[in-house]
Chain A
Amino acid sequence: MRTKLWMLSVVVLALLLSSVSPALTAPDNDAGNPPGLAPGVEGYRVFGKDARKSVVVSFLTVDGFEANSQLLSTIYRSGWSDCFESSATIYGNHNSGSDLYEDSILARGGIKKSGTGWLTTAEQQRQGMSAFVVTSWPDPQFIQTWIAGTRHEFHTDGYVDAKFDTQDEYVG
C-alpha cells in the first residue's frame, strides 16, 4: 500500500511538473540583449541559468490572502549579468532595465571567485530606464570558477520597490 502511495505521489508530481512552462527549462541565450550592448567578446554565447531575469511587475491586485495570479499587464523590470574572459582579464557586465522611466534604477555588480568574497564592485544609479556597469579583474591563471553577480533595484514614487539578483559563471 505504502509503495503504491509513493508511486502515485511521484506520478502526480511528475504530471504537475510537466506543466511547468518551457521557459523555465529552456536554455537562456543572448537573443533578448538590449540593442547596442555586446553580448560577449566571442559574439553569441549562452548565458547560465541565473544570468538573466525578466520580471513582470504588474499583477492583479488581490485582497488579503486570497491569492490570484491573473495578469493585468505585462510591464517588465529586468536585468542580467554576464561573466566572460578576454585577454587574461575576467569581465562582468551588469545591466538593469525597465519598461518604466524609474525614479531610481540601480545596477550593482561585482566579480568574485567561487567560495570567496568580492574582488571588485561597481554600481550605477540614475533616473531612467536602464543602468549598466562593467567590472573586471586580471586572471593570469584561468583555473577558477568566476562569478559575476548583480543586484538590480527599481524605485518609482507610487508603487513597489522591486529588487532581485542575477549571476553568471565563467569556468576558466
Chain B
Amino acid sequence: MASLPVSMGDIARLSGCIVLCLCVACSSPKDGAQGMPQLDGVVRHPGTVATDVADEPPLYMQNGSIGVGFVRAEHRDIPPYDRPQTEEFRIDAGDFFSPYLILVNNTDATQTFLVTAFLDLVQVDFVLDEREGILHEVAVPPHVEFELPMIVRIPFPGCHDVQVLAFARPYNDTLDIDWRTRFGGYSHSRRAIVIVGDNDVPATVPTILDMGQPRPNDRTFDIGVGFATEGDQHPSDQQLYVDQAIVGLPYAFRVWATNDTGQATNMVLIPLVDYRQRPIGFTNEASWVIHLEPEEEAILDARVTFDTPGVHQLQIVFFYDPYRSILRDETALPIVEGSFRIAIQALPAN
C-alpha cells in the first residue's frame, strides 16, 4: 500500500483543529451580551493590537496571571528579581511620579485592560505612554510584558498614596453569576507610597469611620468587600452579584467589608461605577476609610442611580492602612484588591 504524504495522526489532528476552529468561530466573545453603555473618558492606545478581539478569550486561553508593577527608568536593565524595591519612592518637590508601569500578561490570549490610577484616594488623570486620561485602554499580547512610561502629577509635598489598577475583561457585560463571583473581580493592581520633598506628613487626613461590629460567630464567609441586596438579613445571606434597576430611579443595596487580615486596620474603600469613582453612600462620600478590629465587619447602606440603560459594572477598590509604609510592613496587607465586579442592568423606565 502506497504511503500517504501525511500520517493518519496528522489528519486526525487537523480534523480536531477544524472542529475546534468552528467552535471558536461560532462562540461569541461576549458572554450573554446585554449591552454596556458607552464609557466616558477612555483613552485608547491603538499601538497594540485590535482590542475588540481581546475582551473575552475562549476559556482554554485564560490560564495564567496578570501582573502590575513599577520600575524606575534606571533599573530597567536589571533582571526583575534583582531590582530595588518599588514600594516607596522619594522624589524632589516639583518632580513628577514617573516610573515605568509594568503590565504582564501571562495568559495565552491578548488581554484588554482599562488602566486607572488613584492619588490620595482620588481617581486622577495621568499620562500613560505619552497620552493623558483617566482610563487607558491597553491590549497586551499573550505572554508579553510591557513597560509603559507613566506620569502622575503630584502637586504638593508630603506623603502620598498611589494605586494603579488594571481591570481585565472590562467590557464583559454578562449576567452570569458564576462569572461575577470570581474573587478579585478581574482587577490587578500595585500600590506605592510616594514622598515628595522632605516632608513625609500624609497629604490628606481621611475621616476614619469607627463602625465595625463583631462578625457573627456562625459565619464562615468573609471576603474583604462584597455586595448585598437591601434587607435585614446578614449580607452573606443576601449576596448581590447581578440585578436589575430602572433608569432614573435609585437602586439601593449594601456594601459589606470584613477584616480578615488578623490585625487591626484602617480599610479604604473606593467605589467605582463603570470604572469611574462615584459616591454611592448616603452622605456622598467618594471613599470610605473604616477602622476594623480583627474579625470585625462593617455594613454600609448604598444607592446608585443610572442615567442610561444597559449593564453597569460596580466594583470597589480596597486597600489597608493609607499612608502607612508598605516597605516597613506597617500595613495589614501590602496589596490593593478589587471586590467582586457586579452587574446591574438598568432598564428603561417604560
A10-B22, A115-B177 are contacts. A61–B83 as well, Cβ < 8 Å? no
* Cβ 8 A contact of A104, one of B178, B184, B335: B335
Contact in complex: B81, A58 (CB < 8 Å): yes
Once the chains are docked, how many angstroms separate the CA of A69 from the CA of B65? 15
Once the chains are docked, how many angstroms separate the CA of A112 from the CA of B177? 11
Once the chains are docked, how many angstroms separate the CA of A10 from the CA of B83? 46
Contact in complex: B65, A67 (CB < 8 Å): no
Query: Which of B56-64, B277-285, B294-302 lies at the interface?
Result: B56-64
A residues less than 8 Å from B5 (CB atoms): none
Check B313 for interface membership: any CB of A closer than 8 A.
Answer: no
Query: Which of B136-144, B154-162, B196-204 lies at the interface?
Result: B136-144
A-B contact count (CB 8 A): 188
Contact in complex: A57, B60 (CB < 8 Å): no
Within 8 A of B (CB), among A89-107: 100, 103-104, 106
Check A149 for interface membership: any CB of B closer than 8 A.
Answer: yes
How many of chain B's residues touch chain A, expressed as a range? 35 or more
Contact in complex: A69, B181 (CB < 8 Å): no
User: 0/1 per residue, B162-203, Cβ < 8 Å to A?
Assistant: 000000000000000110011110001110000000000000
Chain B: CB-nearest residue to A12: B21
Minimum Cβ distance to chain B for residue A111 (Å) = 10
Once the chains are docked, how many angstroms separate the CA of A120 from the CA of B260? 13
B residues less than 8 Å from A103 (CB atoms): 334
Contact in complex: B144, A68 (CB < 8 Å): yes
A residues less than 8 Å from B145 (CB atoms): 59-62
Check B67 for interface membership: any CB of A closer than 8 A.
Answer: yes
Minimum Cβ distance to chain B for residue A166 (Å) = 9
Check B125 for interface membership: any CB of A closer than 8 A.
Answer: no
A residues less than 8 Å from B148 (CB atoms): 64
Chain B: CB-nearest residue to A156: B81
Once the chains are docked, how many angstroms separate the CA of A17 from the CA of B68? 29
Once the chains are docked, how many angstroms separate the CA of A119 from the CA of B218? 12
Check B18 for interface membership: any CB of A closer than 8 A.
Answer: yes
Check B96 for interface membership: any CB of A closer than 8 A.
Answer: no
Chain B: CB-nearest residue to A28: B63
A residues less than 8 Å from B82 (CB atoms): 158
Once the chains are docked, how many angstroms separate the CA of A117 from the CA of B239? 6
Contact in complex: A158, B81 (CB < 8 Å): yes
Once the chains are docked, how many angstroms separate the CA of A114 from the CA of B178? 7
What residues of chain B have their CB less than 8 Å away from a CB belonging to chain A? 13-14, 17-18, 20-22, 25, 45, 47-48, 59-69, 76, 79-87, 102, 104, 106, 108, 129, 141-149, 177-178, 181-184, 188-190, 220-223, 236, 239, 241, 260-262, 327, 333-337
* Complex A-B, nearest 9 residue pairs according to Cβ-Cβ distance, in ascending order: A160-B69, A160-B67, A117-B239, A151-B183, A164-B65, A157-B85, A14-B17, A158-B83, A120-B220
Q: A10-B21, A13-B25, A67-B144 are in contact. List 20 more A-B contacts (CB 8 A).
A: A15-B17, A57-B80, A59-B104, A59-B143, A61-B76, A61-B145, A62-B145, A75-B81, A77-B65, A106-B333, A123-B260, A149-B183, A156-B81, A157-B87, A158-B84, A158-B85, A160-B80, A161-B67, A162-B66, A163-B65
22 pairs, CB–CB < 8 Å, chain A vs chain B = A10-B22, A13-B21, A50-B62, A55-B106, A57-B104, A67-B141, A67-B146, A72-B79, A104-B333, A106-B333, A120-B220, A121-B220, A121-B222, A125-B333, A149-B181, A153-B184, A153-B335, A155-B335, A156-B81, A159-B86, A160-B68, A163-B67
